[in-house]
C-alpha cells in the first residue's frame, strides 16, 4: 500500500511539473510576444512622428510658396492698376500675404513664437526694399503730396493706408487665444519707432532689440515717411468721399471744368455731401479721420514733424456742413462726430 501511494504521488508530481513547465513556457512566450508588440508600437510611433514631421514640413513649404506668390501677384497688379480703388485692393492683398499673417500659434512644431518673429523680420526687409523703388522716384520722399497723381506716388499712398491689414487666419488665431497679439506692418512700425525714441533717450540699448525691430529701424526714415503718407492720404480720402473734388470734367481742352471744381473747393466755401450718405459710409469716413488723427499724434509723440497737405487742409477748412433736416438719429450723430473729428484734424 505504501509503495502504491508513493508511486501515485510521484505520478501526480510529475504531471504537475509538466503543467508548470507548460505554464512557464506559455508565460515566457507571452512575454516575448508583449516585447515584440511593444517594439512594434515603438516603431509605429517613430513612423507616425516621421510622417507628422514630413506633413509639417510640406505644409510650411507650401505655405511659404503660396504666400510669396500671393504677394508677387498683388504687388505687380498694384503697380499696373490705374484706378486708385483697384490699387487699394491689391495693396490690402499684399499686406495680408505675408507669412507671419498665417502663423498657427504652435499648431505645428515649427510655428513657435520665435519662428513668428523670424517671419516678421523677413517681412520687414522685403516690405521696405519693395517700397524703395517708388520712393527713389520722389524728389523729396518726406514731402510727397497725396494729390500727386504719378503712379509711384499713388502706389506709396495705397501701401501706406493699408498697413493695418490683417489676414483672417491671424484673426482666427487671436479669437482662439486672446493672449496672442495681432501683428501688422503698422504695429511693427509703431512699436519699433517708439523703441528708437527710448534708445535716443538712453532708456534702452540697441542690443536689447528683437531682430525684427532692429531690421525695421534700419528703415527708420522710410517708416516715418510711410506714416506721413498714411496721415495725408486718409484725410484726402475723406475729402474725396464728402465732395466733388474728383469729379471728371465733361468738357474743356485742358480739363478746366475739373480744375474749377478743385479750385472752388480749395479757395471758396462749399457744401459737404456727408449728410446724404448712408450711416455705414458715414461711419467709415469717421474712421478715416480718427485713424488720421491717431497717426498724426503718434508722429508728434516720437518727435517727428508732420503737416497736412496745404490743398487738402484748405479744402477741408472751407467745408460747410448743411443742416441735417431729413437725417435719422444715427446720421445726425455721425455728422456731429464728423465735424468734431475734422476740427481736431485741422488743429
Is the pLDDT at 52 greater than 60? The verdict is no
How many other C-beta atoms lie within 10 A of the C-beta of residue 332? 14
Beta-carbon contacts of 274 under 8 Å, excluding residues fewer than 6 positions away, are 242, 282, 285, 321, 335, 338
Sorted by where each begins, the domain ranges of the chain are 56-218, 230-347
Beta bridge partners, 320, equal 271
Closest by CA position to 223, among listed 187, 188, 189: 189
Mean pLDDT, range 267-293, rounded to an integer: 95
pLDDT on residue 255: 44
Q: Which of helix, strand or coil describes residue 201?
A: coil
Cell numbers representing residue 51 in the block: 510622417
Beta bridge partners, 270, equal 319
- For the chain, the straight-line distance linking the first and the last C-alpha, in angstroms and rounded, comes to 127
Mean pLDDT, range 29-55, rounded to an integer: 62
pLDDT in tens, 228-252: 999 999 999 999 999 987 655 444 4
Cell numbers representing residue 211 in the block: 531682430
In whole angstroms, give the CA distance from residue 246 to residue 151: 17
The beta strands (E) that lie in the chain are given as 270-271, 319-320
Least confident window among 23-27, 121-125, 306-310, 333-337: 23-27
Whole-number percent of the chain with pLDDT over 70: 80
Amino acid at each position: 500500500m505504501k509503495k502504491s501511494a508513493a508511486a501515485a504521488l510521484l505520478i501526480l508530481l510529475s504531471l504537475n511539473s509538466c503543467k508548470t513547465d507548460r505554464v512557464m513556457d506559455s508565460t515566457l512566450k507571452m512575454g516575448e510576444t508583449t516585447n515584440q508588440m511593444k517594439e512594434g508600437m515603438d516603431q509605429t510611433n517613430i513612423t507616425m512622428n516621421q510622417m507628422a514631421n514630413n506633413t509639417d514640413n510640406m505644409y510650411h513649404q507650401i505655405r511659404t510658396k503660396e504666400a510669396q506668390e500671393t504677394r508677387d501677384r498683388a504687388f505687380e497688379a498694384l503697380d499696373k492698376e490705374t484706378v486708385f480703388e483697384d490699387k487699394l485692393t491689391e495693396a490690402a492683398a499684399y499686406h495680408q500675404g505675408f507669412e507671419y499673417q498665417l502663423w498657427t500659434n504652435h499648431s505645428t512644431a515649427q510655428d513657435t513664437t520665435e519662428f513668428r518673429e523670424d517671419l516678421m523680420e523677413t517681412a520687414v526687409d522685403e516690405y521696405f526694399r519693395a517700397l524703395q523703388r517708388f520712393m527713389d522716384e520722389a524728389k523729396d520722399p518726406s514731402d510727397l503730396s497725396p494729390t500727386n497723381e504719378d503712379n509711384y506716388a499713388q502706389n506709396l499712398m495705397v501701401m501706406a493706408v493699408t498697413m493695418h491689414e490683417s489676414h483672417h487666419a491671424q484673426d482666427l488665431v487671436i479669437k482662439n487665444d486672446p493672449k496672442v497679439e495681432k501683428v501688422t506692418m503698422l504695429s511693427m512700425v509703431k512699436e519699433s519707432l517708439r523703441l528708437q525714441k527710448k534708445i535716443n533717450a538712453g532708456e534702452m540699448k540697441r542690443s536689447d532689440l528683437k531682430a525684427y525691430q532692429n531690421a525695421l529701424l534700419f528703415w527708420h526714415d522710410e517708416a516715418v515717411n510711410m506714416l506721413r503718407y498714411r496721415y495725408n492720404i486718409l484725410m484726402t480720402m475723406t475729402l474725396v468721399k464728402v465732395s466733388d473734388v474728383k469729379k471728371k470734367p465733361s468738357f474743356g481742352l485742358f480739363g478746366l471744368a475739373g480744375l474749377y471744381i478743385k479750385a472752388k473747393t480749395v479757395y471758396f466755401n462749399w457744401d459737404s455731401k456727408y449728410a446724404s450718405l448712408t450711416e455705414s459710409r458715414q461711419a467709415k469716413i469717421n474712421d478715416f479721420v480718427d485713424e488720421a488723427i491717431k497717426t498724426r499724434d503718434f508722429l508728434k509723440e516720437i518727435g517727428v514733424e508732420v503737416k497736412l497737405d496745404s490743398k487738402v487742409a484748405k479744402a477741408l477748412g472751407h467745408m460747410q456742413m448743411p443742416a441735417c433736416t431729413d437725417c435719422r438719429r444715427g446720421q445726425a450723430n455721425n455728422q456731429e462726430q464728423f465735424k468734431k473729428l475734422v476740427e481736431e484734424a485741422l488743429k
